[in-house]
Amino acid sequence: MSDQILEDARELLQKEILALQETTDALDESFVQAVRLIQNAKGKVVVSGVGKSGLIGQKIAATMSSMGTVAVFLHPTDALHGDLGMVNEGDVIIAISHSGTSDEILAIIAPLRRIGAKIIAMVGNVNSELALAADGILRLVVHEEADHLNLAPTASALATLALGDAVAGCLSKLRNFKHEDFAKYHPAGAIGRRLLLTVRDLMHGGDELPIVLPDATVDEVLTVLTDKRLGGVNVVTNRETMQLAGVITDGDLKRALKQREKFFSLCAADMMTKNPTVVCEEDMASHALELMENRPFQILVLPVLSKPGAVVGLLRLHDLLKMT
């Protein structure tokens, strides 16, 4: 019995995967035109559908809103009883109906036209009444539902959701939607906290800030490294202007140790990395993480500068990884 359950589950999932693959393969210029229609619209996106299509439509509208495209959901029955008031001239309607023959959806087409909205049909039948009445088409290709009766909207619901995600994602990229934009719409929860953090929130500054002057001896550098325990020390030209001359990391010390006889006669300027990669205290923490990780060899510490260019902190990769 358990083997049969697993076999049935795998068969169901394979049917849903097939629907996603065939919908992907069917993408053509009509998809581009639909995305451009939304991109160039003066108004918002209004997603509408009935039953399971309506539930999926709510998720599509929510995803678009969180990724930079203003979108709302409108149930077609409610639309016919006053809620059409939320639709304005210049809005774009995404009307979801796999068959393209849903009576409730077809009933709002003429009123939407009178308002001056554009209509995109998300359908499986491009020759359906809904598709023929639309300004654009988002095509679903689902030859079979995933359930054993081939009746419940399973594969079609998944394909609809995925196609909606594709539209939302393309629009987000076209609008140059950035991490900080995403953070504005997600102020709560782990994602929001991570995206809203700046370098200043995570850096070690004030009494924790490890600094030495260029003429500092090896003993002085080792003392600061040991006391501060941050894996690096900023070398500044002087303690008044706090201009960065370089940075000394554990790796720099190991390289300096190769000069066995000369090691204890070296000064900070001899060991430091000149012109190191730096970040500004106002930069997003996610930007700093990209700087440290997206390179052939990871950087473990970064000097942090103020806007005028003075050293104000040291940022560790360890501190950034704790936020992910």
Residues 105 and 59: their CA atoms lie apart, in Å, by 18
- Where do we find the tokens 């000064």? 267
Q: Which amino acid is at 197?
A: L
Question: What CATH number does domain 199-321 carry, 3.90.600.10, 3.10.580.10, 3.30.9.90, 3.40.50.1950?
Answer: 3.10.580.10
Which DSSP category does 73 fall into? Answer: E
Helix (H) or strand (E) holding 79: helix 76-79
Q: What's the CATH code, domain 2-177? A: 3.40.50.10490
Query: Over its length of 324 residues, how does the chain's per-residue pLDDT go in tens digits?
Result: 789 999 999 999 999 999 999 999 999 999 999 999 999 999 999 999 999 999 999 999 999 999 999 999 999 999 999 999 999 999 999 999 999 999 999 999 999 999 999 999 999 999 999 999 999 999 999 999 999 999 999 999 999 999 999 999 999 999 999 877 887 787 766 666 667 788 999 999 999 999 999 999 999 999 999 999 999 999 999 999 999 999 999 888 889 888 888 888 899 999 999 999 999 999 988 888 888 888 887 889 999 999 888 999 999 988 888 775
Residues 165 and 158: their CA atoms lie apart, in Å, by 11
Q: DSSP string spanning 206-265?
A: GGG--EE-TT-BHHHHHHHHHHH-SSEEEEES-TTT-BEEEEEEHHHHHHHHTSTTTGGG
From the number of C-beta atoms within 10 Å of its C-beta (0-12, 13-18, 19+), residue 69 rates as buried
Tokens of 162: 């995925």
pTM for the model: 0.71
Domain boundaries, the chain: 2-177, 199-321
- The alpha carbons of the chain give a radius of gyration, in whole angstroms, of 29
Crossing angle (nearest 10°) for helices 155-174 and 52-66: 20
